[in-house]
Structure 1
Amino acid sequence: MKKISLLLVLVMVLSMFMVACAPKEDNQVGENNTEPNNTSEPTELVVSTWGFNEDLLRKNIYEPFEKANNVKIVLEVGNNADRLNKLRLGSSNVDVIQLAEGFAIQAIEEGLFEKIDRSNIPNIENLYDVAKAPFGEEYGPAYTVGRYGIMYDTAQVDKPIESWADLWDDSLGKKLIFPDMTTTAGPFTPFIVADIEGLDVKTDIDAIFAKIKDLNKNLVKVYSKSSEVVNMFSQGEASVVAGQDFSFGQVKEAVPTAKWVDPKEGAYAIVNTINIAKGTKNKELAEKFIDWILSEEVQKANAIDKVDSPANKNVVLTEEEAEGLTYGADVIDKLILADWKYINSVNKEWIERWNKEVVSGQ
């Protein structure tokens, strides 16, 4: 009997050991069915991005991806120009970088991006056409397509604003904030003036800057960060802004009487891109991360939270959820696409004139 009891104990111990060592079933997260790998230390993935809505981005993008893939995402935040300069100088260990279209074109021309393998990013096929390959199929897609238009507080502005030209109206004295020429949307300004004045941006630049200078009568501040827009609206320091739609959700939350306007001349497309930094050691993981950002699940979560407009055409939103977003082919197809190659060829000159003729006059 003692021998039988001892044998039973050994069998039970052995069975427990085998159960403990058996492989666990794979956990699947979201639509992408990404499989976690928790057998080793997390792989660090450095993402260069803006510092706006970081808490919501962590909830919708970073934390689910980290959990599913045994990854630790480290953020390098800042504006386009600063983050691109870090990449140029080699003072950054970035794997993935998000840049507005004009800055991304500069990076491509300077050889700062890896070429992507689109077979590793199948969600690209679910994007609107304008987002699939803004620089050709060798480089990353746009993960969001937004609008540059006008926001204003209807409780503080007497006349309805319908046109870009309305920003020069005398009734807006010291109520307007406007983006700096060095920002994503700043270079649209000469094109806007050329349109409303019937001028040619390539041959009438002196007349265009004379008109831009007239904005000083209405300007409260030239801003360089979107967070300034929200802060100044919420504190009542400004009631009109030429700005991007991704910040409208927070503006509307702070000021319920705020309204978004697509000017009658047209709103400009803001094409924010995602690419892989040259020399990364995590290229396949970076491609997997890009695919995750493009997924219907992530795109819809960000849209509902008013973080970014969805570039994934499979995302379906209610009228309330879509308010203030660039949503649907009928909206996207109407956007004005800027000539960024030309802008980059003259942008240094424009910035110098802007600083001398506009900023110094405030």
Structure 2
Amino acid sequence: MKNALKIRTGLLTLIAPLTLALSGGAHAQTRTLTVSTFGLNQALFDKNVTVPFEAKCGCKLVYEVGNTSDRLAKLDARRANPNIDLALLSSAAALEASQKGLLDVINPAKLSNYSRLYDFAKDPIGGHYAVGYTVYSVGLVYRTDKVRNFKSWQDLWRPDLKGRIALPNITTTQGPLTLMMANAAWNGPDADFATGLQKLAAVKGNIVTLYNQSAQLASLFAQEEIWAAPAPRFVWGNLQKTGLPLRWLVPAEGQAADVNVMTLVKGSKNNDLAYQLMDFWLSKDVQTNLANDLADSPANKTVLISADKGNLLTYGVRQIRSLKFLSPAQQLKQRTDWVEFWNKNVAR
């Protein structure tokens, strides 16, 4: 009996540290996936993406947040030893990153939800370096009690709007999109949008301000400084909260649009987890939840949401059919010239 007790005690002595070692080893094996992102609506993304994905994968999501130019610079500086696995970027920024050799090609066969995306989200920059996870439009918002017969982008040039409009600065995401639509409105045949630039320079007298953040629009309308402005769809909900008689217009020429994309960072040691997160994010359930929370307009075309939610997003047949996309390659090629002209002839 004493010998059996000794044997049992000895086994427990051996098992205890082994159990601790195994539990410690399991804890040490928890993997981390680092995502570079814009930082907008982060609480909603944590609710609908971070928390459920961590539970699903048994891993940890960490976010590096910042503006696009800073995040691109960091990706470039760390290219030899990247700390980012997945980067969320604008389409133009993703193209720039791919041209600098910072991204891996995405294999669509590894994404079960790829076929459910709108065509414009499947390969938005070419070469399969990116996949769109959300789409947004830039249309026109105006005061229905102040402006009559507002139908076209050309209406921003009307004399009755002198000193009553705001335009996005050319260095914002909406700036080049507004330029594209100005060029289209005035039938510019030029690939460099020279006609649109000249027209924007000519409308200076109507401009109250050049906004750098779309959040400024709510206060500009509320303070009755402006009666009309190009606006990204994702601010429409906040604009309605002003209580003013505002209308969202899909102009005769259509709406400008872009997609924000997911990209795989070259040299990442967590590509398998990155693919899992991408596919999870693109799924109908996650895209529906994000749309219902008004965090993002869906890139998954199978998403179905109520009309009241859809009216606040780039969603539905009419909205999607109206979209005009600016080529990321054209944007990168012309960006320096556009900014130079703008600073000399529009911003001054």
With the length of structure 1 as denominator, give the TM-score of the two structures. 0.80
Q: Distance in 2 between matches of 1:204 and 1:117?
A: 34
The partner residue of 2:106 within 108, 116, 123 is 116
Structure 2 residue matching 1:226: 3-state secondary structure: coil
Shift of 1:93: 2.6
- Does 1:332 pair with 2:320? yes
Question: Unaligned 5+ residue runs, structure 2?
Answer: 2-7, 20-25
Shift of 1:315: 0.8
Shift of 1:295: 1.0
Match of residue 139 from structure 1:
129
Distance 1:67 1:182, change over 3 A: same
Distance 1:118 1:209, change over 3 A: closer
Shift of 1:201: 2.5
Shift of 1:215: 3.0
Structure 2 residue matching 1:63: 3-state secondary structure: helix
Distance 1:356 1:132, change over 3 A: same
The partner residue of 2:91 within 94, 98, 101 is 101
Match of residue 25 from structure 1:
none
Shift of 1:61: 1.6
Match of residue 308 from structure 1:
296
One-letter amino acid matched to 2:233:
D
One-letter amino acid matched to 2:200:
I
Identity %: 33
Match of residue 281 from structure 1:
269
The partner residue of 1:174 within 153, 156, 163 is 163
- Residues 79, 225 of structure 1: 8 Å contact kept: no
Shift of 1:109: 1.7
Distance 1:88 1:152, change over 3 A: farther
One-letter amino acid matched to 2:43:
D
Shift of 1:40: 4.7
One-letter amino acid matched to 1:106:
E
- Residues 182, 200 of structure 2: 8 Å contact kept: yes
Distance 1:225 1:87, change over 3 A: farther
Cα RMSD for the two superposed structures: 3.0
Q: Distance in 2 between matches of 1:233 and 1:93?
A: 42
Shift of 1:149: 1.0
Shift of 1:239: 4.4
One-letter amino acid matched to 1:246:
F
After the TM superposition, which of the residue ranges 276-285 and 158-167 deviates more from structure 2? 158-167
Distance 1:340 1:119, change over 3 A: closer
Distance 1:152 1:129, change over 3 A: same
The partner residue of 2:57 within 56, 65, 69 is 69
Distance 1:304 1:254, change over 3 A: farther
Q: Distance in 2 between matches of 1:217 and 1:262?
A: 24
After the TM superposition, which of the residue ranges 140-149 and 68-77 deviates more from structure 2? 68-77
Q: Distance in 2 between matches of 1:124 and 1:194?
A: 33
Q: C-alpha deviations, 1:252-311, integer Å up to 9, x for none?
A: 234463322111111122121111112212111111111111011111111112221111
Q: C-alpha deviations, 1:68-106, integer Å up to 9, x for none?
A: 323332222233333223222338732211122222222
Match of residue 158 from structure 1:
147
- Does 1:46 pair with 2:34? yes
Q: Distance in 1 between matches of 2:171 and 2:157?
A: 21
Distance 1:330 1:238, change over 3 A: closer
- Residues 143, 311 of structure 1: 8 Å contact kept: yes
Distance 1:71 1:250, change over 3 A: farther
Q: Distance in 1 between matches of 2:290 and 2:309?
A: 11
- Residues 190, 201 of structure 1: 8 Å contact kept: no
- Residues 152, 252 of structure 2: 8 Å contact kept: yes
- Residues 80, 184 of structure 1: 8 Å contact kept: no
- Residues 191, 201 of structure 1: 8 Å contact kept: no
Shift of 1:348: 0.7
Q: Distance in 2 between matches of 1:119 and 1:340?
A: 24
Structure 2 residue matching 1:125: 3-state secondary structure: helix
